C-alpha cells in the first residue's frame, strides 16, 4: 500500500465507495442516484468530493487512481 493509498483509503465514506463501484460499472450520475435512492445533484456533489480527495481531473481519472491504489478491482 502506498503512502497516498494509506492516506485516502480510510477517509473514503461508504457512499464514496458506492460511487466508485458505480463508476466501475459505467453508471451515469442519474443511474447511481436511482440505485442509491438519492438525487442526481447529491451524487454530483459526492463525486466532486471524491475527485478532490484523489486530486483527480475527472471521474475517469478518479477511477484509474482508485484501481491503481487497489481500492477497487476491475472485473
Would you list the domain boundaries of the chain?
3-68
pLDDT number for residue 21: 94
What radius of gyration do the chain's Cα atoms show?
12
Three-state SS string across the chain, please?
Answer: CCHHHHHHHHHCCHHHHHHHHHHHHCCCHHHHHHHHCCCHHHHHHHHHHHHHHHCCCCHHHHHHHHHHCCCCCCC
The predicted-structure confidence for 33-72, as pLDDT tens digits, reads as follows: 999 999 999 999 999 999 988 889 999 999 999 988 888 8
pLDDT number for residue 5: 59
pLDDT number for residue 42: 96
pTM attached to this predicted model: 0.79
| Domain covering 3-68 assigned CATH 3.30.565.10 in the classification | no
Query: Quick one: pLDDT band at residue 23, thresholds 50, 70, 90?
Result: very high
Amino acid at each position: 500500500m502506498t503512502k497516498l493509498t494509506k492516506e485516502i483509503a480510510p477517509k473514503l465514506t461508504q457512499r464514496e465507495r458506492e460511487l466508485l463501484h458505480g463508476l466501475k460499472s459505467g453508471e451515469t450520475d442519474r443511474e447511481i442516484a436511482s440505485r442509491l435512492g438519492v438525487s442526481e445533484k447529491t451524487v454530483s456533489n459526492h463525486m466532486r468530493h471524491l475527485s478532490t480527495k484523489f486530486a483527480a481531473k475527472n471521474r475517469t481519472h478518479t477511477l484509474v487512481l482508485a484501481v491503481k491504489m487497489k481500492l477497487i478491482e476491475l472485473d
